[in-house]
Amino acid sequence: MPLTINTASYNTKTGMYVTETTGDYNAVTNPGGFGAPNPTRANVTSIIFVITQPDGSVVTMDVPSTFVTGPSYAYDVVNTASGEEATLMDGVYSVLTTYTASVGGPYTTTEYILRDYDLRCAMGALALKDMKGTEYQQLKLAYDRMAQAFACEDYTLTQELMDDANALLDDCNGTYFNCGCGC
């Protein structure tokens, strides 16, 4: 089986990471992994991320080869040394990853990232102020629907539901991004 690139993601308050999860070749458990008969990690000559952000803007990044050879296999697409970086905002990101190798390829995969840090923060602040009130309940329901849409891989609906959840916070004048929602 040819090399099958796999990535995953996670995000923090100040960063958003794409991780390399392809693994090593095993004829039974991972026939699409790195190593004979597939290209090795050392065969990777270039890695490019094309990131479509929630606002539709696109960022292209040349990623160092340590992404596939380093101990953590993680790359922060927000805090990069290359100068190209994604903008930290809530929403659905699409990351098209292309590996070029000295043999075979190119190899590509697409990872979708849901960044919901600010929305969760606003929800937490609202819960502390209005736990039994309808504002929190409405926001929690909207958030749960959004999370379910993402789990079902409906990324367009996920973004629409996130926009709906944020609309519930309109009277907060945008301050919920700092966890200070005044609802």
Q: What is the pLDDT of residues 42-89, one digit of tens each?
A: 999 999 999 999 999 999 999 988 888 877 788 899 988 777 888 899
- Which stretches does DSSP call E strand in 53-182? 58-63, 74-76, 91-101, 107-115
CA distance 86 to 16: 9
- For the chain, the average pLDDT equals 86
Looking at the chain, the whole-number percentage of residues with pLDDT higher than 70 is 91
pLDDT for 130 = 59
**SS3 of 111, please?**
strand
- Distance (Å, rounded) from C-alpha 68 to C-alpha 148? 31
CA dist 165 to 90, 136, 143, 180, Å? Answer: 11, 11, 6, 16
Under 8 Å between Cβ of 47 and 35: no
**Distance, CA of 164 to CA of 175 (rounded, Å):** 17
**Range 159-182 average pLDDT:** 67
**Backbone torsion region of residue 77, taken as left when φ is above 0, otherwise alpha when ψ lies between -120 and 50, otherwise beta:** alpha
The reported pTM is: 0.84
Residue 180 scores a pLDDT above 60: no
Quote the CA–CA distance of 78 and 16 in Å, as a whole number: 6
Q: What pLDDT sits at residue 133?
A: 65
Query: Is it the case that residue 125 has pLDDT exceeding 60?
Result: yes
